Amino acid sequence: MTSSSLAIAPANTADFRLLAKKRLPRQLFDYIDGGSYQEITLANNINAFAKLFLRQKILRDVSKIDLGMTLFNHSINLPIILGPIGLAGCFARRGEQQALTASVTHNIPFCLSTVGICSIEELKAQTEQAFWFQLYVIKDRNYAINLLSRAKNAGCETLILTVDLPVLGERYRDIRNGLSSSATSKSILSLFKRGADVVSHPKWLWDVAIRGKPLTFGNLSAAVPNAHSLDDFKGWVDNQFDPSMTWDDLQWIRDNWSGNLIIKGILDSDDAKNAVKLGADAIVVSNHGGRQLDCAQGSLTVLPEIVTAVNKQCKIIIDGGIRSGFDVVKALALGADACLLGRAWAYALAANGEQGVSQLLTQFENELRVAMALTGVTKVSDITSDILVQP
């Protein structure tokens, strides 16, 4: 899909969202776009950024602005990471490959999800550039260790361990669209609607569903060897969430992973301190993009107290509600070291593949540059709470 075929020239994340909505079957768009239950946490993430204001400062020398930083001994061009997105290969043909290519072009990290369509080995074959890997806390510890070994063999130096899924929060949009495991979603009417939805998007059907095969979880093929579709994997995946897991049970991760360890899903100061005790090199302040606990605070809202609790003992990354370079600047001003993008790059990928993700990152870069110039800072390391309008 080329930019000439798009109805509009996308200028920001909201535009990419509209294009994704037009291109994707509704069930897939809502999977990206939706949150759990009443989607209050999802709204809180975005509103937290909207309520925080930047302080304009003028007549500083901002002729040379440096957006780069060092993260885990690697120099990157932007304080941004493309976070793990499940099913990304369903949004664009071999979507994880395309997103990785865009991240390499912009010299920022890309993190592959356990439930990505492309496997660790497929991405490794694509590029010599190291990428990150994300792992869920799953019951099958032997298979988890196998995944860690595969990631290490592929040159992955950084692991994101997602810990906020002891149980799976329900997403009402998925129930309505037939993606949920509820009994009603398997009715004849529901299955018919899903089929009609897919065939009403012929460009996606040809480019992704047909040319983008196999649409299976590449990293889990050994766990479910007879699987031929995503539905075949679902039973195994749903059974792997472990509500009995505690902080004491996570030491085996450190015993089997010598690289950088990031704990994702921290919204509480005590949990942040526990992550530090475990030996985490970084944490992600996150409510899973509003897809788990509803009625929770926005990630940005709890960021300052977690920054205080961690007290520079590890890096702090944040996700949830980040839709622009201005949002990135706000997060850094409140103490984050970097930002993890989720929905924003998923919209861009669905809208226009690698080119869409690259366009989005360029837009973030431009917005970052303007936000820094007009708040009087020239380096990412100089972004502090001084650039914020204090309440």
CA distance 81 to 320: 13
Residue spans of alpha helices (H) in the chain:
13-23, 26-33, 40-50, 95-106, 120-126, 141-153, 172-177, 188-199, 202-204, 230-238, 251-256, 269-278, 299-310, 325-333, 343-374
**Largest Cα–Cα distance of the chain, in whole Å?**
66
User: Is 288 tagged catalytic?
Assistant: yes
**Angle at the Cα of 102 (from 199 to 328), degrees rounded to 5?**
105
Neighbours of 57 (CB within 10 A): 14
Q: For the chain, 391 residues long, give each residue's pLDDT as a single digit of tens.
A: 444 445 679 999 999 999 999 999 999 999 999 999 999 999 999 999 999 999 999 999 999 999 999 999 999 999 999 999 999 999 999 999 999 999 999 999 999 999 999 999 999 999 888 999 999 988 999 999 999 999 999 999 999 999 999 999 999 998 888 776 554 445 545 555 678 888 899 999 999 999 999 999 999 999 988 877 787 888 888 888 888 889 998 889 989 999 999 999 999 999 999 999 999 999 999 999 999 999 999 999 999 999 999 999 999 999 999 999 999 999 999 999 999 999 999 999 999 999 999 999 999 999 999 999 999 999 999 999 999 997 6
**One-letter amino acid for residue 112 of the chain:** L
CA distance 171 to 324: 25
> Shortest CA distance to 372 belongs to which of 19, 18, 62, 47?
62
Kindly write down the DSSP assignment for every residue of 94-151, as one continuous string.
Answer: THHHHHHHHHHHHT--BEE-TT-SS-HHHHHHH-SS--EEEEE-BS-HHHHHHHHHHH
Question: What residues are paired with 24 via a beta bridge?
Answer: none
Catalytic residue among 74, 106, 228, 288: 288
Whether the full predicted model's pTM is greater than 0.75, yes or no, is yes
User: What residue ranges define each of the domains in the chain, with the CATH number in brackets?
Assistant: 3-387 (3.20.20.70)
